[in-house]
Amino acid sequence: MAPANTLPAWSELQAHRDDVAKNFVLKEAFASDADRFGRFSRTFKAAGVSADILFDFSKNFLTNETLDLLVKLAEQAGVERKRDAMFRGDKINFTENRAVYHTALRNVGGWDMKVDGQDVMSGPNGVNSVLEHMKEFSEKVRSGEWTGFSGKKLTNIVNVGIGGSDLGPVMVTEALKHYGAPDMTLHFVSNIDGTHMAEALKASDPETTLFLIASKTFTTAETTTNANTAKSWFLEKTGGKGDVAKHFVALSTNEAEVTKFGIDSANMFGFESWVGGRYSVWSAIGLSVALYVGYDNFYKFLSGAHAMDKHFRETPLKENIPVLGGLLGVWYSDFFQAQTHLVAPFDQYLHRFAAYLQQLSMESNGKAITSDGSTAKYTTGAILFGEPCTNAQHSFFQLVHQGTKLIPADFILAAKSHNPIHDNLHQKMLASNYFAQAEALMVGKTDDQLRAEGTPEDLIPHKRFLGNRPTTSILVGDVIGPAELGALIVYYEHLTFVEGAIWDINSFDQWGVELGKVLAKKILKELDEPGNGEGHDASTGGLIGAFKQFAKI
Ligand SMILES: O=P(O)(O)OC[C@H]1O[C@@H](O)[C@H](O)[C@@H](O)[C@@H]1O
């Protein structure tokens, strides 16, 4: 595939940016066009599955011509062809020779899905049979039929995993807390920092604790170390009476390592190598979600995700919501030099959403090499960050409003709260902030307005808001339930796909995380051997030496 900047639409977009978009004033665009909101908004409808979700793209640097040119870019970059290849099970992860098939995990619509000519949905290790196993197991644990070694119900769940084997389960169980079993406590231990495991164990009773060892590879140093620590704690606390088989299950693709660890393969929930870590919450890795919110809600979560897959797969580019989101990402990154993408949910339950999206976006598109092995001559993945609002408004929004950088932002709100306390006052205040922030970022505040308010002349520059800062507002038509959450996550998954497809990079590998892992392994040995960091550069060696001295190792 050709690098993005060699496509004719890329040059046309550059010219268009110089002619029109550079001087584009959002508030004027609204003043001169009564239909702008309608023209640049799209509603995601998935009958019977989820509430409507309104995506308002109108407060972005878009004219009809921009949209046409962006769609042309998507066509020339082969976005539809690449999308169809993904859904066909082709090995589009070309550096690892793997299919990218997380969409099969939520294929509740009965699509024919095959990798290497094999149906991935049926058969003993197929998606449907793992789902059946998850259903059966989660129902047994929730009902108390599956008990611990002393006959007590398991109500304390410790998920041990990192990266995609942690962030999805944490984010989703937090987002769906409203649906969670009231008698269940969840812990997510990811960090190799012993504090993480120690604090979780401090709060756990071995008789009622179920450990989920979540690791696609089952070789990740943090997870295997944490899992071994948990196993030793369990055996020690139970004086050898504890039955590992009742208290430890594995969520993994690696049966050999799972059995080596001491978990019976009957208590393993598998998935396949075509599921990338950051796309794995839909797989067995989501077992903590099913345990906590119940299998029916987990199934609804998959259904909402599938509905967005269907939309992405079947909708023409110009109406295709994740395609539009991805095109805007490229538009701002490459034509306005925006370095970041802010995602701020106006929703406390979504307080880990941005953390989850960080891995999804930055591990997928933090690449500089295009499909032919050459270095991209354009900017790729943006730095994604975010926090829930209204909190974020009181911390870093100063820079978003008045800083020197352009920060395209997404705001997310549910029309209805799960907790309409104080006569729904909180929800109305939350919503008013959601509207006000996008409006303020767009309209700004002029010197004349400040003068009319009696602002002293010397303060005017400080109190001025230039405005013209773009936002996408996402409004869920009801509460955010499992299906709506599934659809929202998949919006971002496919948005990320579209960006990567245009940038001509492989969004599905993550070689960039390897080097540090390898060096850490080597240095770990050195910490137990004599020496003071010799053989490293002076800074690294000096630090190792100082550490050994301070820690008396
Ligand atoms: O699930 P595993 O194999 O333990 O991997 C955990 C994480 O490990 C990281 O190194 C990868 O970059 C992530 O993509 C992955 O999710």
**Structure tokens that stand for 445 in this block:** 């505040």
Cα of 142 vs centre of ligand 1, distance in Å, is 28
CA of 247 to the centre of ligand 1 (A): 23
Residue 495's Cβ-side half-sphere holds a number of Cα atoms within 13 Å equal to: 26
CATH topology of domain 4-92+315-503: Rossmann fold (3.40.50)
223 lines ligand 1 (CB under 6 A): yes
The residue type at 435: F
103 alpha-carbon distance from chain centroid: 15
pLDDT tens by residue, 139-172: 999 999 999 999 999 999 999 999 999 999 999 9
Residue 48 has pLDDT above 70, yes or no: no
d(CA 108, CA 487): 13
Q: Dump pLDDT digits (tens) for 512-538.
A: 999 999 999 999 999 999 999 999 999
| Range 511-551: architecture per CATH | Orthogonal Bundle (1.10)
Pocket of ligand 1 contains residue 83 by CB under 6 Å: no
Ligand 1 pocket residue status of 225, Cβ below 6 Å:
no
ipTM of the complex: 0.98
Query: Which among 344, 331, 464, 353 has a CA at the least distance from the CA of 406?
Result: 331
46 pLDDT more than 90: no
Question: Which pLDDT does position 129 carry in this prediction?
Answer: 98
The amino acid at 196: H
Q: How far apart are CA 496 and CA 33, in angstroms?
A: 31
On the CB side of 409, CA atoms within 13 Å amount to 29
Distances in Å between the alpha carbon of 346 and those of 310, 337, 388, 476? 27, 27, 6, 11
Percentage above 70 pLDDT, the chain: 99
Active site residues: 363, 394, 517
Q: What is the dihedral of CA 63, 66, 72, 74, to 10 degrees?
A: -100
pLDDT digits (tens, 9 = 90+) for 311-352: 999 999 999 999 999 999 999 999 999 999 999 999 999 999
Name the residue among 32, 27, 10 with its Cα closest to residue 61: 27
163 pocket-lining for ligand 1 (C-beta < 6 Å): yes
Separation CA 256–CA 71 (nearest Å): 47
Pick the CATH number of 127-295 from 3.30.429.10, 3.40.50.10490, 3.30.950.10, 3.30.365.10: 3.40.50.10490
User: How remote is the CA of residue 59 from the centroid of ligand 1, in Å?
Assistant: 36
473: its two tokens: 């507002």
For the chain, helix, strand, coil in percent to 5 are 55, 15, 35
What ligand 1 atom has the least distance to the C-alpha of 164? 16
Query: What average pLDDT does the structure give for the chain?
Result: 97
| pLDDT 10s digits, 68-110 | 999 999 999 999 999 999 999 999 999 999 999 999 999 999 9
**Whose CA is closest to atom 4 on ligand 1?**
215
For ligand 1, mutation pick of 510, 514, 515, 521 (most atoms within 8 Å of CB): 510
| Sign of the alpha-carbon dihedral angle for 108, 111, 115, 121 | positive
Report pLDDT digits (tens) over 279-309. 999 999 999 999 999 999 999 999 999 999 9
Please report which confidence band the pLDDT of residue 369 belongs to, taking 50, 70 and 90 as the band edges. Answer: very high
Question: What is the rounded distance in angstroms from the CA atom of residue 339 to the CA atom of residue 353?
Answer: 20
472 lines ligand 1 (CB under 6 A): no
Whether residue 49 is predicted with pLDDT greater than 90 in this model: the reply is: no
DSSP string, 442-506: HH-B-HHHHHHTT--GGGHHHH-B-----EEEEEESS---HHHHHHHHHHHHHHHHHHHHHHT--
Domains 4-92+315-503 and 127-295 share a fold: yes
Structural domain spans, the chain: 4-92+315-503, 127-295, 511-551
What predicted TM-score, i.e. pTM, was given to this entire model? 0.98
Q: Where are the alpha helices (DSSP H) in 255-347?
A: 255-261, 287-293, 295-314, 321-335
- DSSP lists the bridge partners of residue 210 as 157
- Contact of 109 with 49, CB cutoff 8 Å: no
Q: Which atom of ligand 1 is nearest to the CA of 514?
A: 10
240 falls in which pLDDT band (50, 70, 90)? confident
For residue 137, what are the CA distances in angstroms to 60, 234, 377?
Answer: 47, 21, 50
For the record, the structure tokens of 363 come out as: 């591990």
CA-closest residue to ligand 1 atom 14: 277
CA distances from 341 to 204, 257, 361, 472, 477 (A): 38, 39, 10, 11, 24
Q: How far apart are CA 173 and CA 186, in angstroms?
A: 9
Across 458-462, average pLDDT: 98
